[in-house]
Amino acid sequence: MAEPLHALTALGHAAPKTVTIGAVSIIERFDVALASLAIRKGREAEVRALAAKAGLPLPDPARFAAGPSFSAFWVAPDMWFVEADHSTHEDIAGALKPLFGDAASITEQTDAWVRFDLRAEDLQGLLERLSNVDFARAADGFASRTVIEHIGCYLIRHGAGSVTLYGPRSSAASLLHALEVTAHSIA
Amino acid sequence: MSQQNRMSGGQIDRSRTLRFTFDGVSYEGHPGDTLASALLANGVRLMGRSFKYHRPRGPLSAGSEEPNAIVELRTGARQEPNTRATVAELFDGLEAKSQNRWPSLAFDALAINDRLNSFFTAGFYYKTFMWPASFWEKVYEPIIRRAAGLGSLTRQEDPDSYDKGFLHCDLLVIGGGPAGLMAALAAGRAGARVILADEDFRFGGRLNAETLTVGGKPGADWAAGVVDELRSMPNVRLMIRTTIIGAFDHGIYGAVERVSDHLAVPAPGKPRQTLWRIYSRRALLAGGATERPIAFENNDRPGIMLAGALRAYANRFGVKVGERVAVFTNNEDGLRTARDLQARGVDVVAVVDARRDGALLPGIRHLKGAEIVDAGGRLGLRSITVRQANGQTETLDVTALGVSGGWNPNVNISSHRRSKPVWNETLQAFVPGEGGPAGLVAAGAAAGLMSTHGALVSGQKGALAALGELGLSGASDTIPEAEDAPVSITPKWYVHSGKGRAWIDPQNDVTVKDVKLAHQENFTSVEHLKRYTTLGMATDQGKTGNVLGLAVMAGLTGQTIPETGTTIYRPPYTPVALGTLAGRSRGKEFKPFRLTPSHKWAEEQGAVFVEVGMWLRTQWLPKPGETHWRQSVDREVLATRKSVGICDVTTLGKIDIQGTDAGAFLDKVYCNTFSTLAVGRCRYGLMLREDGMVFDDGTTARMDETEYVMTTTTANAVTVFRHLEYCRQVLWPEMDVQLISTTEAWAQFSVAGPNARRLLEKLVDQDISDAAFPYMAAGNITIGGLRARLFRISFSGELAYEIAVPTRYGDALLRRMLEAGREFDAIVYGTEALGVMRVEKGHVAGNELNGQSTALNMGLGKMVSRKKDSIGMVLSQREGMNDPEGYRLVGVKPVDKTATLTAGSHFLEIGAAPVIANDGGWLTSKVYSPHLGCEIALGYLKAGDRKIGQRMRAVNLLAKTETEVDIVSPHFFDPEGERLRG
């Protein structure tokens, strides 16, 4: 068998990039697998039971919840994005489908997105320049779709100084540019 | 002498001296000065020229309402025209220039306009330049264009950056004067999230400009104390240098924060200005009031300003505008100026008071029932002529005059949602009316409460009422003691005197005579008055002149002022630079880019990219020695047809459609049938709009019983996804269908050409022989164990596949395919070659999918199944859309193989005149076919299916081209499809 195909990050590098500007760190994550999970019509109770059994949280709207193997955040009615460690769940859709059978529609999303984790003591100053999410009032575990510099993103608040952003993979460079410029303006 | 007009006191920092220039002359000022206050301190009253008559002008105000002192700031790329000297914060090294004058401010050649004023009355441009008509474009317009405009642009790129942001609060307080400070204090102490914004660089509003006391302290000191307390509250955000520019929907306000305008150069990485969108639950308008003048002859002389401004310069900036001062007022507030200046030792020559009643000022010559009929001093005030109550006139030598015609509450923000302000007879001014922005109330002078006490009380009350609505409670703390003088005003709008001009809107040179002319010519509606005279259309938007103008009109029509009404108030409240609105979206960052998985590889090869929506796609890949794009494209086409070519097609929209009703759902959104498609197969699908026109096309594969993968065009990827979501959520919510876009999740490449299979067989782990993987097969495969997808579909007419891997492996797959394809001379082709091959094959694309074409037009009429209902099926059967004489897709070849075709040309019969009645249709797409050795095209031709083999003309009257063409089948290449099934 030939050499396995090498992987490139969304920014076009072999390894993920971390940028620190002032107090803000922008950490590209390349180690998270992602899949969408949508409940098929009339199968909600079944899916919730199967999810509970698999240790996969299905949080309320606008929420993120962490689990032992899988974490998840709400994206639409009856639909979540499920996260897992890429090293153990490279084929995350392949891993989830057997758990839910035909009760849920599962689609691989890993490479549809670029993930940036943002770290600072307080990210309010950065995020108020990027997104209309009321970050200061959002509780930890808040998850929402938002628009950053014309780019549709998901924002998850893990804490005042810890945020995960998912943006479209093809616009990774544009999204990073917006984050960098804004970090400079508050540095 | 430096700063010869500087007095003691004021809120300036004399410990530091700032050096600046105006029109090349050096001056000194201090931190806390504006450009205007510093120039006045140095005895400079002349700061600008008016727009039309080029009249010499000095500042009228000490604030953002300034119409006269409009200057250019800074030099080089940072030069900014039309800025107000009265709000430009002084910094060391500031370079300012006057504008709208030549060769100098003191001697301006175009001041000749002033002599010719009888030709430049209101609406002159509607009446003049009419004859001869031919002169308009060549003579008049160029002259007018040269004369028009105030400042100049450097045409250099702005080197500064601009930021944007979003803020949230319970209470937005607009204005940091006594009302705003009291409101912020009440709400802040109650624990509410408060934003207090003020356009000034110091909170306090009029308290900074007055000698009034609050709670026994000088007003400015009280304000500073409140600001200190507010600053200590984590729930209060203080925003100085921040103008609320407009009220928008749902409690949203626009704000411009001038982050670095008070600095010579912004700090590295810092924006010059930030545009904030403030989401407020409640808002309090505490924007104060603006004084208005009284019009009299030559009332625009430099040195004549609003009475409140005169004392602001004295009290806040420690500047006397002149040695000998007079005041012209119709209200009690004007007397404050006289008192304050006299207390500071300035010679107050007289107070000309239009009111006949009331007490006289002690120690000042107070002329009751008097008015000013003229002013002298061309480049600066020297004298005023006063007509006393007994009719006697007297000329007084003065170098500064303060005029007060009353105060207009700043109702702008409360009227941005079209609420009409209402007239208050006591104040002789408009106050906010009903129906303003939801959640906004006014307080203080903005609400018509003109005393300091009234401001403090209403600020606190307004804030507590707002909090109450939000379920928050605050304490009614003791109101500090402050003056509570009632307003005493006698209406006086303009002085009737001789034939001279009395200015209402000084920047646009609108005079009382102009309003009279508008009335005479029946432009009496306030909106007509505005357009006809340009009243209020200058950069100050008539903040000082509008009410005066409509009061004059009211006097002429016999209507009351409220009957005359106001024009519509619109954002922005003060001028906003376009760069601020653009924010970070400029230059290369104007919009985000989308990069394909092969982008890195293509960059390494020196590819030429084309913008396709936000995508950057490879257009062609030049090889050494290729000097013209056609050489590269021809080579890519020929190499693909000869052996194998690879193209990144990731940009095509991919939508994952799952659910037990997925097949039935597709039957409804596509005009052809998909529920019967076998698992492991794909099919070309055509999607119609409700009106029966073609919406989009693409192939859809059935991956298993309940999962389909749809492909859309690149252009319509988002639109189709949105359409499907609409269908799923709104039209057929009962269906079990789940959708998600996977466009970016998979890197997808087209591999086309006779050797496509042989190349892929070297990489794919499964059997993909024609028997195992026939034409239109689709399925999951592996490449060295890595999951991948393979579709046997062709856009080029060749034996072709589309192969997809998770996007992160796209770059590696492309390199691997090129390595494996070396023995087949595999190449990568771009969108140009893709276009050539699809035209050769007769496939429709964007130019044919133009939103006005039917399946029948495209030769795909039989695809519209009538055995089932689908979107657009019924309306596609309309008679007009099935006209046998209607447009049909045809191929076009020039008779002379060396001739060129022009896209967009129209078909005409041989010998037919090029008139619309003879129009046969048009040529939609044109390429050079290296395979056929000539240009070829597709086109829509009336009854085109019956005209195959005919000879016609392709005529383009715009490009002035005409080519004789043969109408042929659109399938130029391999019409039987033998190659793609090979």
Neighbours of B184 (CB within 10 A): 33
Q: For B629-683, what is each residue's pLDDT tens digit?
A: 999 999 999 999 999 999 999 999 999 999 999 999 999 999 999 999 999 999 9
Q: For B846-894, what is each residue's pLDDT tens digit?
A: 999 999 999 999 999 999 999 999 999 999 999 999 999 999 999 999 9
pLDDT of B431 above 90: yes
Beta bridge partners of A80: A37, A74
Identify the weakest region by mean pLDDT among A26-30, A84-88, B101-105, B917-921.
Answer: B101-105
pLDDT of B778 above 70: yes
Q: Spell out which residues of chain A touch residue B601, defining contact as CB-CB under 8 Å.
A: none
Q: For B277-331, what is each residue's pLDDT tens digit?
A: 999 999 999 999 999 999 999 999 999 999 999 999 999 999 999 999 999 999 9
Question: Per residue in B933-965, is it b (16+ CB within 10 Å) or e — as a string?
Answer: ebbbbbbbbbebbebeebebbbbbeeeeebbeb
Which residue type does A68 have? P
Give contacts of A 100-139 with B, CB under 8 A: 102, 105, 107-113, 128-134, 136-137
CATH code for B162-289+409-469?
3.50.50.60
Tell me, what's the pLDDT at B1?
Answer: 55
pLDDT of B147 above 80: no
Cβ separation of A5 and B816 shorter than 8 Å?
yes
Q: Spell out which residues of chain B touch residue A40, defining contact as CB-CB under 8 Å.
A: 658-660, 736, 738
Number of helices followed by number of strands (H, E) in chain B: 22, 50
* Structural class in CATH, domain B495-575: mainly alpha
Q: Band of the pLDDT at B586, cuts 50, 70, 90?
A: confident
Which residues does B190 contact at the CB level (< 8 Å), separation at least 6? B464, B467, B472, B473, B474, B475
Identify the weakest region by mean pLDDT among A52-66, B581-595, B765-779, B810-824.
Answer: B581-595
Choose, out of A8, A20, A127, A184, the residue to mutate when testing the contact with B (most B CBs < 10 Å): A8
Pinpoint the alpha helices (H) of B609-710: 629-642, 662-669
DSSP state of B689: -
Beta strands (DSSP E) in B311-463 are 324-329, 347-353, 366-368, 371-376, 383-387, 393-397, 400-404, 407-409, 422-424, 429-431, 440-442
Minimal C-alpha gap between B806 and chain A (Å): 6
What is chain A's length?
Answer: 187
pLDDT of B140 above 90: no
Query: Please, are residues B931 and B637 in contact by the beta-carbon 8 Å criterion?
Result: yes
Tell me, what's the pLDDT at A2?
Answer: 67
- Stretch B122-132: mean pLDDT, rounded? 78
Q: Does B596 touch chain A (CB under 8 A)?
A: yes
pLDDT of B542 above 60: yes
Q: What is the mean pLDDT of chain B?
A: 95
Beta bridge partners of B902: none
pLDDT of B614 above 80: yes
Q: Indicate the residue of A94, A112, A170 with minimum beta-carbon distance to B594.
A: A170
Fold of the domain built from segment(s) A32-108: Alpha-Beta Plaits (3.30.70)
Q: Does A48 touch chain B (CB under 8 A)?
A: no
Q: Does A140 touch chain B (CB under 8 A)?
A: no
B187 closest CA partner among B168, B170, B207 = B170
Rounded to whole angstroms, how far apart are CA atoms B437 and B247? 7
- Measure the CA angle with vertex B88, ends B84 and B92; round to 5°: 140
Alpha carbon A178 to its chain centroid, in Å, reads 18
Cβ separation of A111 and B740 shorter than 8 Å?
no
Q: Band of the pLDDT at B268, cuts 50, 70, 90?
A: very high
Rounded to whole angstroms, how far apart are CA atoms A162 and A104? 31
Tell me, what's the pLDDT at B724?
Answer: 98
Q: Band of the pLDDT at B16, cuts 50, 70, 90?
A: very high
Neighbours of A91 (CB within 10 A): 16
Minimal C-alpha gap between B169 and chain A (Å): 9
In CATH terms, A18-30+112-186 corresponds, of 3.40.1190.20, 3.30.1360.120, 3.40.50.620, 1.10.20.10, to 3.30.1360.120
Cβ separation of A113 and B599 shorter than 8 Å?
no
Beta strands (DSSP E) in B645-775 are 645-648, 653-658, 682-688, 694-704, 707-712, 738-741, 746-752
Q: Indicate the residue of B274, B744, B806 with minimum beta-carbon distance to A168.
A: B744
- Stretch B141-145: mean pLDDT, rounded? 79
Rounded to whole angstroms, how far apart are CA atoms A81 and A73? 5
In CATH terms, B594-650+745-837 corresponds, of 3.40.640.10, 3.40.50.300, 3.30.1360.120, 3.40.47.10, to 3.30.1360.120
Tell me, what's the pLDDT at B978?
Answer: 86
Rounded to whole angstroms, how far apart are CA atoms B547 and B408? 8
Identify the weakest region by mean pLDDT among A114-128, B115-129, B446-460.
Answer: B115-129
Q: Indicate the residue of A5, A129, A150 with minimum beta-carbon distance to B591.
A: A150
Judge whether B162-289+409-469 and B293-405 match in fold: yes
Write down the domain spans for chain B: 1-153, 162-289+409-469, 293-405, 495-575, 594-650+745-837, 653-741, 884-982
Determine phi and psi for B341, rounding to 5 degrees.
-70, -40
Minimal C-alpha gap between A131 and chain B (Å): 7
Structure tokens that stand for B634 in this block: 């021809």
Q: Does B563 touch chain A (CB under 8 A)?
A: no
Q: Spell out which residues of chain A touch residue B661, defining contact as CB-CB under 8 Å.
A: 41
The HSE-up count of residue B595 (CA atoms within 13 Å, CB side) is 21
Rounded to whole angstroms, how far apart are CA atoms A133 and A118? 15
Q: Band of the pLDDT at B143, cuts 50, 70, 90?
A: confident
Query: Please, are residues B400 and B306 in contact by the beta-carbon 8 Å criterion?
Result: no
CA distance readout (Å), B59 to B114, B344, B507, B545, B744: 19, 21, 11, 14, 59
- Stretch B958-981: mean pLDDT, rounded? 93
Which residue type does B765 have? D
pLDDT of A1 above 70: no
Minimal C-alpha gap between A133 and chain B (Å): 8
Cβ separation of B740 and A132 shorter than 8 Å?
no
Tell me, what's the pLDDT at B714?
Answer: 96
Q: For B702-721, what is each residue's pLDDT tens digit?
A: 999 999 999 999 999 999 99
Which residues does B276 contact at the CB level (< 8 Å), separation at least 6? B164, B165, B166, B167, B242, B254, B255, B256, B257
Q: For A67-81, what is each residue's pLDDT tens digit?
A: 999 999 999 999 999
Q: Spell out which residues of chain B touch residue A37, defining contact as CB-CB under 8 Å.
A: none
Cβ separation of A8 and B812 shorter than 8 Å?
yes
Fold of the domain built from segment(s) B293-405: FAD/NAD(P)-binding domain (3.50.50)
Helices B178-189/B219-231 angle, 10° precision: 30
Fold of the domain built from segment(s) B1-153: Ubiquitin-like (UB roll) (3.10.20)
Pinpoint the alpha helices (H) of B73-218: 112-115, 124-127, 135, 141-147, 178-189
Cβ separation of A112 and B660 shorter than 8 Å?
no
- The three-state secondary structure class of B225 is helix
Q: For B212-231, what is each residue's pLDDT tens digit?
A: 999 999 999 999 999 999 99
Rounded to whole angstroms, how far apart are CA atoms B33 and B54? 27
In CATH terms, B884-982 corresponds, of 2.30.40.10, 1.10.1740.10, 3.90.1720.10, 2.40.30.110, to 2.40.30.110
- Stretch B529-541: mean pLDDT, rounded? 93
Structure tokens that stand for A9 in this block: 């990050």
DSSP B939-974: EEEETGGG-TT-EEEEEETTTTEEEEEEEE-S--S-
Which residues does B479 contact at the CB level (< 8 Å), separation at least 6? B182, B453, B456, B457, B460
Choose, out of A30, A111, A130, A175, the residue to mutate when testing the contact with B (most B CBs < 10 Å): A111
Could you give the percent of chain B with pLDDT greater than 90? 91
Cβ separation of A109 and B742 shorter than 8 Å?
yes
Tell me, what's the pLDDT at B852?
Answer: 93
3-state secondary structure A89-139: CCCHHHHHHHHHCCCEEEEECHHHEEEEEEECCCCHHHHCCCCCCCCCCCC
pLDDT of B962 above 60: yes
Q: Spell out which residues of chain A touch residue B707, defining contact as CB-CB under 8 Å.
A: 105
Rounded to whole angstroms, how far apart are CA atoms B197 and B241? 8
- Stretch B788-793: mean pLDDT, rounded? 98
Question: Per residue in B636-656, is it b (16+ CB within 10 Å) or e — as a string?
Answer: bbbbbbbbbbbbbbbbbbbbb
Question: Which helix (H) or strand (E) is B758 found in, with range?
Answer: helix B756-761
Q: Band of the pLDDT at B380, cuts 50, 70, 90?
A: very high
Pinpoint the alpha helices (H) of B247-326: 307-315
Rounded to whole angstroms, how far apart are CA atoms B936 and B924? 11
Q: Does B784 touch chain A (CB under 8 A)?
A: yes
CATH code for B653-741?
3.30.70.1400
Rounded to whole angstroms, how far apart are CA atoms B89 and B225? 23
Helices B831-841/B629-642 angle, 10° precision: 60
The HSE-up count of residue B622 (CA atoms within 13 Å, CB side) is 10
pLDDT of B498 above 80: no
pLDDT of B748 above 70: yes
Region for residue B768 given its phi and psi (left: phi exceeds 0; alpha: psi -120 to 50; beta: otherwise): alpha
